């Protein structure tokens, strides 16, 4: 996966527990595997929510303990869609 989400983006996620929120997704350098750090979007001192890593085949894994599985899937789909939109 050669992602074109090169800097950062904001995504709305429906939270399993608590209010839905917008999070900030920031690309972590250019190393492989591709990694995206996740933060709260609008806090002056944002909370770190973990990260999502993609391997060269496009499979992803969440590294963190804040997001529920459904929330992780929402973030991964957002990143994949952004990648697809830029490539097509």
In the chain (88 residues long), the average pLDDT of successive 10-residue segments reads 65 87 89 87 94 91 95 94 63
Q: Give residue 5's pLDDT.
A: 59
Q: Give residue 60's pLDDT.
A: 95
Q: Give residue 71's pLDDT.
A: 95
Token pair listed for 48 = 């770190």
Q: Kindly state whether residue 2 falls inside one of the protein's structural domains.
A: no
Identify the H or E element spanning 39: strand 34-40
CA distance linking residue 8 with residue 25, whole number of Å: 5
CA distance linking residue 23 with residue 42, whole number of Å: 8
Q: Kindly state whether residue 1 falls inside one of the protein's structural domains.
A: no
Q: Give residue 86's pLDDT.
A: 57
Which domain does 47 fall in, by range?
Answer: 8-87
What is the pTM for the complete model shown?
0.83
Other C-beta atoms lying within 10 Å of the C-beta of residue 33: 14
Q: How many domains does the chain have?
A: 1
Q: Kindly state whether residue 15 falls inside one of the protein's structural domains.
A: yes
């Amino acid at each position: 996966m050669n992602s074109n989400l090169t800097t950062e983006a904001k995504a709305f996620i429906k939270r399993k527990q608590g209010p839905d929120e917008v999070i900030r997704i920031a690309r972590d350098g250019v190393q492989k595997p591709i990694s995206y750090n996740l933060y709260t979007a609008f806090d002056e001192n944002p909370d770190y929510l973990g990260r999502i890593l993609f391997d060269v085949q496009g499979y992803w894994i969440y590294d963190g303990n804040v997001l529920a599985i459904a929330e992780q899937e929402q973030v991964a789909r957002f990143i994949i869609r952004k990648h697809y939109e830029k490539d097509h």
